[in-house]
Structure 1
Amino acid sequence: MAASKSSKRLRSADEVSRDPVLWAVSVSRLSTLIGDVVPEFGDRARIEMINLGFEDAVRQVRRRAGEECDVLISAGSNGAYLKHRVDKPVVLIRASGFDLMQALSRARSLSDRIGVVTHETDMPPFAEFRRMFELPIEQRAFVTAEDARNRVAELVNRGVKAIVGTGLVVELAEQAGVSGLLLYSADSIRTAFETALDIAGLVRGIDSRERPAPRRAPRRGGGPKPAADGFLGHSEVAVQVREAVAIYADTDATVLIEGDTGTGKELVAQALHQASGRAANAFVAVNCGAVAESLLEAELFGYEEGAFTGSRRGGRIGLIESAHHGTLFLDEVGEMPLPLQTRLLRVLEEREVLRVGSSRPVPVDVRVIAATHRPIEAMVEEGGFRRDLYYRLNVLRIALPGLARRRQDVAMLAEHFLQAGAQQAGEVMPELDASALALLQAHDWPGNVRELRNLMERLAVITRASGQLMIDAGLLQRHAPELTARPAPARLTRGSARRPDRTQLQQALQRSADDRAHLAAQFGISRTTLWRWLREAGLQ
């Protein structure tokens, strides 16, 4: 990285005009850290800081739609908010396990009462790591800015004096009178910038030596398509999934992706988009189970000014309109409330959106991909999902196998995740010996590929701290006892329409020491579904 600072050669106007244009969007304490890293990339890109957040940032990006920008860089809840609302690629700054260890070390020097508050997409393995080593650290996750405020207030009320988290969390902690420590490091930001430069090169059609290359027109059929390379594996079922993606990318027909939690449904949806003629346009993802029912309608369909109390002046377009000419990915569509299913059906049949509070439909051109971990056919029979919508979604179908059905892919996937973690940290990749691989391949993987990825990240952190370069069965059993533990008898079956009542949920929370990731695994549901259950029960 430092070499980029010392490059003093004056570049021609043509070279400068080919530089990628990156916008770094942050309104929190993270802005200062990003600003420290920006000069290191000054001779490789034109970088602008946008010190705005959430709706203000979205409005600014849309207002400047005619200006040159290849990729946005952001983090946490602000980055997740942008990703679903702008038509440019968004690279998220992600904290590594080493970042977390450093932040916790600094927090420990300030107080014995420590809390960690992260956005729901950050640091998923930490809950299991904390539980396994019985670390006296309070952990919380948030989705919205208001959630973050509530989580911080909750920890302060419990006597926590130092809180590690995102930039937003750090500011909220300091406003509450306790110490706030930023989760991210300069290395995490550098990694995000490198990723953004790679994406910008693809967007601009420039190779790594900055030679101009012809831009490819969006494909509308004909010619080979890139397969879902991210769906790794040599097993027959993995090959079948990649073949289905290559075939279905040729059409705009609706696709229904079914599979248990952690099997890679969004990965396959993104592969379908990237291999299609819509790849140059937006991929808009919305998790139907992560947004409160009262907000989901406005999020999806948008609203007119004055449509309801608190609506923004001038109204707002919804996520469906944001996907115009692109792809709309409806994750966990089985969680969508029945009234909104009716409105979604109209979008699919009429290809138009009616905003909340409006009588004028807006035409939209979107390709819809839906995904669910629940048995939609059974829900239809029980009246929990509209039959006509099911038939409209189930035009093309991809069933993703659980990892237990593709055990021969476990070794490849494990080594891939270890290598990715090592590259991010700039370390040598630890190896898995034959005894460790045998243990991994014998496990049933109820959390599927996500569980394997999280375990490999945990092992990467442990081996990096200890200096070990070989992972054997003994080390694996010490740090991953779940591989040989018996399955919990209370686990709910996939797709069960019944949920625990409020008392049962509260008792389960207490038994798990408020470990949301572990509790979701016990119930056999996603963390977003658990979040919705808790919110509706008044426990969130």
Structure 2
Amino acid sequence: MSALFHPFSGDRLRIVAVGFHGLRDLLEELAPQYSTIAEVSVLDKAYSDAVADIAAMRAIRPVDAVVSAGSNGSYLRQHLDLPVVLVKAGGLDIMRGLARASRNTTHIALVTYGDIAPEVRHFCDTFGLRVALRSYTTEEDAEACVQELKTQGVQAIVAPGLVVDLARTCGLEGVLLYSQGAVREAMDDAIEVARISRLEASRREKLNTILGKLKDGVVAVNMDERIETINPSMEALIGLPATQLIGQRLSEVSDALSLQQTLRSGDTESEQVEEVGGKIVVVTRMPIIEQGRQTGAVLVCQDPVVIQRLDRNLRSRAQPRANITKYSLDHLVGQSQAIRDVRARALTCAQSDATVLIIGESGTGKELLAQGIHHAGARRAQPFVAVNCAAFPESLLESELFGYVEGAFTGSSRGGKIGLFEAAHTGTIFLDEIGEMPPSLQTRLLRVLQEKEVLRLGSTEPTPVDVRIIAATHRDLNAQVQAGGFRRDLFYRLNILLIKLPPLRERKDDLPLLASHLQEKVAQRLRYRKPGDDSIVAAIVDVSQHYDWPGNIRELENLIERTLVFRLPSSSSSITADEILGIAPELFTHQGRLRPEGSSVGGLQGGAERSDDTEQAFAPQAQGLRHKRSAAELAHIKAVLDACHGNREATAARLNISRTTLWRKLKQLGEGQ
């Protein structure tokens, strides 16, 4: 892999200090002071010889940084791929050097590597110092400079180590420009640079190790699109080793993998399907942002075969999804004031995450209302999980609600199982028949409500959950609390947003709409092309005026299904009294008692035997039933049209009729009004 750093041996840094004579003496003097954090090796070599010796040292053990000065330091910077820190003379160093040189002579020169700083010239002019100022860049420049100064009568030269040695060779006094403080500052800088370099190398090594384990191909480039890092999977995809790819422009290596557009725009392109080297891959391009600035880009290639394999694996392991809601608040059929109030309150409850308690008799549509609240709220896209607390024995209900870890009990699944509270995370859990929950589980449910976390069976670590709770019951929980069958504190936790669903006997104005809606629903379930006899709904509505509907809407739906099954769809005649009595005798009861033989309900004879008188009595009533059926149908159409905000196309789709039929029905509705 590219850009890999060798592992470091030991904890100490390794610094190589390069210098001659005076500088070397200062380096050797300071080196022991850094022995606890760094191994400092002093090298008395110059230029190419120094480069060769450092390379030999690196072959044995890594070197972290180099300290040098002057032209020698500049040469090392150009020929080593290591941090090279230069010893730099400050203004105080120059003043001290000039003062020392002026003790024996007034013919003094100051020689520096590179250009003379303007501050030095200004200093000499200000104080009237007669100092010859010279500079050099190469060893040859330095030799020529010393010869020139000697010819001009200069007797002392303040300069870096190379020039000091040349001056002394020519019989002149040489004063080293660098002080111990300047050398110490350079050593401190080298230690810090080496430390940071090691940290960066360690991070890079970790990153390279991670990239090397990835099955996905990864390549990173700089802003010039030159490859800086590439992992083995990408090498295999391109077909070239990293040694040949590092430093190359990615678009020149493979035009299909180009990152030029990403570098220009800084935008992320996710999951693009492309062909590279005759192979189809899924490509993602992203900019690299460091400290708010784009410094490059990265490209990731995924094998679609691996993605498909993972997808199959996830699908095989996934739990069956119980989070699809089938109903919204629009499915609460009815226009009575009671059901309008329920819809309005439910819509208000949907805007909050507070716990909702629904109270209503069996068959009134408590789960439909719960789904409607979930669908109207902010969690509509999240899971909706429903559980009937009366449908499980206590031990099974506990594991279903809270889950368990592997080995929690005999027969537990390998790997454990998440509970329904975890399955509903970020969504809604509907606890139906909450009044049937055993007291021991009421305590655990209270903890979920208070602490927002669940504890799996057999586990000691709680799992946080974000779940909205909707509970429902047909019981009087307040009475259960008084009797000691339901925890008082749990009741108060549940009874925050209360909705009472009225029984069907208290909303009989909705009976025609409900019956018509349910007849269409049942007819679709039975795969009838037509919803059934037009007289059925009207007949049921008429004969049940004194019926209490103890099973509520569920009973009404079952009765309609029973009637449609026994009443063939092909039947063209209106339903008769005997048929109604034979199919649904309970409708002829009042408070559960069969009416006396011969008595009538809404004009329908209740006798078991047919007679001419019965037929004659029913014949005019059939017309009344058909009228009621039409009225119920038109009322239902108007309600659906209102729910669709006047959109006729949506209304026709919901009613499962053509737009022409809807137009005809609406015309009838207009004439009726």
**TM-score w.r.t. length of structure 1:** 0.49
User: Which of the pair has the greater relative contact order for Cα pairs under 8 Å at 6+ separation?
Assistant: 1
**TM-score w.r.t. length of structure 2:** 0.40
When you count strand as a share of all residues, which structure comes out higher?
A: 2
> Which structure has the larger Rg?
2
